[in-house]
Amino acid sequence: MKKILILLMVLILSFTLLSCEKETEKEEVVMDNITVTLDWTPNTNHTGLYVALEKGYFDEEGLSVEIIQPSNGTAEAIVATEQAQFGISYQEAVTLARIEELPIVSIGAIIQHNSSGFASVVSKGIKSPKDFENKNYGGWGSPIENAMIQALVEQDGGDFSKVNILTSGAADFFAASEADVDFAWIFEGWTGVEAELKGIELDYIDLGKSDEALDYYTPVIITSETLIKDNPEMVKKFMAAVAKGYEYAINQPTDAAHILLKYAPELDEALVVKSQEFLATRYQDDAAMWGLQEEVVWKRYMDWLFERHLIESTIDVNKAFTNDFLPEEK
């Protein structure tokens, strides 16, 4: 009987120690909290982030990620001031931020080529940039917008002074087109797709194809120089998960679209699915891997801005972007 009691006590003690050991292991799994700020409301530019969230790719890297929309300030300022570890931006915004000495760095191109341009409904009769003459442009009132329009118009033999620039802000393209706006700057993969679904035929002038210098990266993923210096491993883990998310969106666009809709149910389902199909072939496009950025693309656009006096000085583009945190090529 004594032997049996001793055996039982040993077994109970063993199970207790094993249970404590497992509990300790659980406690040792500490997730790093990450905040990612979008540039705008959720759309198919952001799908890879939501896929990484839904599929557990962030969890696999030990990251607990919250995706937010900027409420106060731009994504660039939010990341530069370390209110968020990562954000969504654009090459032009990063270039301007670097000139203002905001310590942000682009760590991945979401879309390999510029998929934006100037669009108008066919009834406006705008077939080429010269046709911008005597037409109303609705935009944000940015000097860069004006410079782009001027460059395209003059390149096409037109007179920029005859273009009427209106500041319409975030006005709906279709509503504005029915009012006083003749053409506007759109993302082909969103508003262009929406026009197709609505049965509205557009004339479209592709920026990236109109001028090589305007084929820049838009959008991009950014982080701060501080995070790169203090915690490069976190940046690497984040980009490993995000790359998997965008690779999934490339290979499974329909499923990826429904993941985005789960997190942003207010979006139109048909538009999201069609837009996702459009971007699936454009995220990586002709690059060796998703996210890759080239020095020549950054320098070409910077020089374009500088030559038109849109920036007062140039920057070291190799400090504005890096491919160091992308997963190794397969």
Contacts of residue 233, Cβ cutoff 8 Å, sequence gap at least 6: none
Is the sign of the CA dihedral 271, 277, 282, 283 positive or negative?
Answer: positive
Average pLDDT, the chain: 92
Percent over 90 (pLDDT), the chain: 85
DSSP 190: I
Domain at 116-214, CATH from 3.40.190.10, 2.30.22.10, 1.10.132.20, 3.30.960.10: 3.40.190.10
pLDDT tens digits along 17-71: 555 555 544 445 688 999 999 998 999 999 999 999 999 999 999 999 999 998 8
Strand 136-139, strand 164-167: pairing: parallel
pLDDT tens digits along 229-266: 999 999 999 999 999 999 999 999 999 999 999 999 99
Conformation bin of residue 15: beta by default, left when phi > 0, alpha when psi is -120 to 50: alpha
- Report the CATH fold assignment for 32-112+217-320: D-Maltodextrin-Binding Protein; domain 2 (3.40.190)
Strand 183-187, strand 136-139: pairing: parallel
The answer to whether 241 and 52 are in contact (CB under 8 A) is yes
Dist CA 185 CA 166 (whole Å): 12
What's the token pair of residue 135?
A: 């037409």
Which sequence spans correspond to the domains of the chain? Answer: 32-112+217-320, 116-214
Q: What is the pLDDT of residue 142?
A: 86
Dist CA 11 CA 202 (whole Å): 77
Q: What is the pLDDT of residue 73?
A: 87
Dist CA 72 CA 275 (whole Å): 28
- Environment class of 169 (CB within 10 Å of its CB; exposed 0-12, middle 13-18, buried 19+): exposed
Contacts of residue 297, Cβ cutoff 8 Å, sequence gap at least 6: 91, 215, 216, 217
Q: What is the pLDDT of residue 10?
A: 45
Quick check: pTM over 0.85? yes
Query: Concatenated DSSP letters for 23-72?
Result: HHHHHH--PEEEEEE-SSS--GGGHHHHHHHHTTHHHHTTEEEEEE--SS
